[in-house]
């Protein structure tokens, strides 16, 4: 289980002596069960990416703790091969000096037990995300946006993580590609039974893939709601989102 | 990614590499290769043009210019490379630590850099030589002390900009160790910036070393050094301009060779650069592999 307990975080902007404290997260707590798909929806600047950086152990919260199976994610050994991520910006998500093969294999080697021949693993991973073996020797700049994001997904699942954190993973893709990638994510979830923390602006995408949705606003959780009860959402922001999505 | 196989196809890069290596070897083997003793004065040959035994002629004291040029490789190229290596080593290490780990470490390293950089380079070097005494070793120490801060600053900025990228975030999140992240993901991309600052400082360093030799603080008078040879030729610039040619051209060749080599290395290392240049060959290779 992934437990987020009372996280606060603030940033200090400006130069020394003139610093302005800017609190981004105000005591955020929630839990994501194994195999559960949890959506986080919130407006721009509400602190979603900041929260993701904490969950991934890249930054430390000021207060509060994040546990994976009872161990703090601050330790590398807790995260190694257990948590993985897909980010929004596919242009900077793969090392420009790495081939697709090398990028994915680096993640494969994080697995606690490599069960089969690694070449076979690579081919089947590429196939699973809808690419073929000819992509192996390509460099990131030779991929389209959708292909690059598929490679990122392949790399993220290559270490067989228990949790996959997706920070606006589909936002910068073409709408038709978005649908394909969403379907892919749903299929992969069924195959590997991973837990998802799915961050998005798009309530329809969240409704498609998530079991529960967190409405996030100004660094606080406004509401947690099951996807099948989405129409009974209480918070203002949630209702606005829902209204706009119905209009669309 | 094989740097060597990419570099091999770059003609200018290979030519530069061969030049640099050849010059280094000649410098190391100077006593065997030089046709004459660079210090032997022979006033009867003063300002002689090129002859069969003195290929590049003789200088104002009748010494063999070719031999002086060959012996001059030692302070001008070997010593400069050595200084560069050490100061880049220190600068890079500290720059990586500051740029990658940020926060307090960064603040401390950068304040020290600020202090070092707030003195003009020449003044600082003079002060250090003043404290430690005249001599080549002290010039080397002074150079390293004044140069590393600049390298650290540049590397730190470049590292900082890359560690914010998502693939570094992914690596950190995956629990890959910092050492591996730096080695695999940060060093290759910052290498481009590194080669630029390294190759651009070589030229100015050759001239600075000679500047100090001219002041009598570095290499002492009878010993050969390219910058000093230029200085000596300067006195007869209008009557015998050809005296400047040998050291001048030598400096130009070496500085350009280092610059071309830096460019070639950059292209060889970065798939975004070399693939566009050789799409045809790379796509053919790719077909064969399948
Ligand atoms: N390193 C930082 N230093 C200072 N302020 C920061 C830093 N990172 C984020 N912030 C601030 O924190 C707030 C939340 O940023 P965050 O990136 O988490 O928003 P977000 O919810 O992901 O928005 P978006 O939907 O646009 O991606 C913003 O106001 C931002 O200015
Ligand atoms: Mg964000």
ipTM, interface predicted TM-score of the complex? 0.91
Residue A176 vs residues A79, A181, A189, B58, B81: alpha-carbon distances, Å: 33, 9, 20, 78, 56
Percent of the residues in chain A that have a pLDDT greater than 70, as a whole number: 94
Residue nearest to atom 22 of ligand 1 (CA): A49
Closest residue to atom 24 of ligand 1, CA basis: A44
Do the Cβ atoms of B184 and A81 come within 8 Å? no
Q: Whose CA is nearest to atom 4 of ligand 1?
A: A11
Q: Into which CATH architecture does domain A37-48+82-243 fall?
A: 3-Layer(aba) Sandwich (3.40)
Instruction: Using a CB–CB cutoff of 8 Å, tell me whether A188 touches chain B.
Output: no
Higher pLDDT: A167 or B220? It is A167
Query: Which residues line ligand 1 at a C-beta cut-off of 6 Å?
Result: A 11, 13, 24, 42, 44-50
In chain B, count of helices (H) and strands (E)?
15, 0
pLDDT for the residue numbered B196: 82
Domain boundaries, chain A: 37-48+82-243
Question: Contact, B109 vs B98, CB < 8 A?
Answer: yes
Which of A97, A142, A152 has its CB closest to that of B270?
A97
Residue B244 confidence (pLDDT): 87
Give the model confidence (pLDDT) of A58-105 as tens digits.
999 999 999 999 999 999 989 988 999 999 998 899 999 999 999 999
Q: B2-44+72-289: which CATH topology?
A: MetI-like fold (1.10.3720)
How much is the average pLDDT of A36-58?
92
Q: Is A142 on the interface with B (CB under 8 A)?
A: yes
pLDDT confidence of residue B272: 83
- B-chain CB neighbours of A79 within 8 Å are 173-175
Distance B39 CA to ligand 1 centre (A): 68
Alpha helices in A16-116 (DSSP H): 48-55, 76-79, 100-108
The pLDDT assigned to B284 comes to: 37
Point out the residues of chain B with pLDDT beneath 50: 278-290
Q: What's the order of all strands across the beta sheet hosting A195-200? A: A83-86, A163-167, A195-200, A37-42, A212-217, A220-226
pLDDT tens, residue by residue, B141-196: 888 988 899 999 999 999 999 988 999 999 999 989 999 999 999 988 888 888 88
Kindly list the domain boundaries of chain B, sorted by start residue. Answer: 2-44+72-289
Compute the distance between CA of residue A104 and CA of residue A159 in angstroms, rounded to an integer. Answer: 9
pLDDT confidence band for A115 (50 / 70 / 90): low
**Low-confidence winner among A206-210, A211-215, B127-131, B219-223 (lowest mean pLDDT):** B219-223
pTM (2 d.p.): 0.83
Would you state the pLDDT for residue A156? 92
Please report the pLDDT score of residue B112 as a whole number.
92
CA A58 to chain B, closest CA, distance in angstroms equals 6
More confident residue, A19 or A29: A29
* In contact, A14 and A28? CB cutoff 8 Å: no
- Spatial CA neighbour of A200 closest among A174, A226, A167, A173: A167
Query: Rounded to the nearest whole angstrom, what is the distance from the C-alpha of residue A49 to the centroid of ligand 2?
Result: 4
Ligand nearest to the CA of A48: 1
Cβ of A51 under 8 Å from any chain B Cβ?
A: no
Kindly report the average pLDDT of chain A as a whole number: 88
Q: How is residue A156 written in tokens?
A: 């993220």
What pLDDT shows up at residue A240? 83
CB–CB contacts below 8 A, A to B: 84
């Amino acid at each position: 289980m992934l437990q987020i307990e009372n996280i606060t975080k603030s940033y200090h902007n400006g130069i020394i002596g003139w610093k302005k404290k800017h609190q981004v997260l105000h005591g955020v707590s929630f839990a994501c069960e194994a195999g559960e798909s949890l959506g986080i929806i919130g407006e721009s600047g509400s602190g979603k990416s900041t929260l993701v950086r904490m969950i991934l152990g890249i930054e430390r919260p000021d207060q509060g703790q994040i546990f994976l199976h009872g161990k703090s994610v601050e330790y590398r050994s807790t995260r190694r091969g257990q948590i993985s991520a897909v980010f929004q910006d596919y242009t900077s998500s793969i090392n420009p000096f790495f081939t697709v093969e090398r990028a994915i294999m680096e993640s494969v080697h994080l697995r606690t037990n490599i069960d089969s021949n690694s070449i076979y693993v690579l081919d089947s991973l590429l196939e699973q995300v809808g690419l073929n073996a000819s992509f192996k020797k390509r460099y990131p700049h030779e991929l389209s946006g959708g292909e690059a994001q598929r490679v990122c997904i392949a790399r993220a699942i290559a270490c067989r993580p228990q949790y996959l954190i997706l920070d606006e993973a589909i936002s910068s893709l073409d709408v038709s590609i978005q649908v394909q990638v969403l379907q892919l994510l749903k299929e992969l979830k069924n195959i590997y039974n991973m837990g998802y923390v799915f961050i998005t602006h798009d309530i329809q995408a969240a409704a498609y893939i998530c079991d529960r949705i967190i409405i996030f606003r100004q660094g606080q959780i406004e509401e947690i709601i099951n996807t099948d009860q989405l129409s009974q959402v209480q918070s203002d922001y949630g209702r606005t989102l829902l209204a706009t999505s119905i209009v669309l | 990614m094989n740097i060597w196989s990419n570099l091999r196809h770059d003609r200018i890069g290979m030519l530069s590499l061969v030049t640099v290596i050849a010059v280094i070897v000649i410098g190391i083997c100077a006593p065997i290769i030089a046709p004459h003793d660079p210090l032997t004065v022979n006033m009867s040959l003063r300002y002689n043009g090129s002859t069969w035994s003195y290929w590049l002629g003789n200088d104002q004291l009748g010494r063999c210019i070719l031999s002086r040029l060959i012996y001059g490789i030692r302070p001008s190229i070997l010593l400069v490379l050595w200084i560069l290596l050490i100061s880049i080593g220190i600068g890079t290490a500290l720059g990586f630590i500051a740029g990658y780990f940020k926060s307090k470490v960064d603040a401390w390293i950068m304040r020290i850099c600020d202090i070092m950089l707030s003195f003009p380079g020449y003044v600082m070097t003079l002060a250090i030589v003043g404290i430690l005494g005249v001599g080549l070793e002290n010039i080397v120490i002074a150079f390293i002390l004044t140069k590393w801060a600049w390298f650290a600053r540049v590397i730190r900025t470049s590292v900082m900009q890359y560690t914010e990228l998502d693939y570094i975030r992914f690596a950190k999140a995956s629990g890959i160790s910092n050492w591996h992240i730096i080695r695999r993901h940060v060093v290759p991309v910052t290498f481009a910036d590194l080669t630029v600052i390294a190759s651009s400082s070589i030229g100015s360093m050759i001239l600075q070393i000679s500047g100090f030799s001219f002041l009598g603080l570095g290499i002492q008078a009878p010993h050969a050094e390219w910058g000093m040879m230029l200085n000596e030729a300067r006195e007869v610039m209008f009557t015998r301009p050809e005296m400047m040619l040998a050291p001048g051209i030598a400096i130009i060749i070496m500085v350009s060779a280092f610059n071309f080599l830096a460019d070639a290395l950059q292209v060889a290392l970065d798939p975004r650069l070399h693939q566009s240049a050789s799409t045809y060959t790379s796509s053919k290779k790719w077909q064969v592999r399948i």
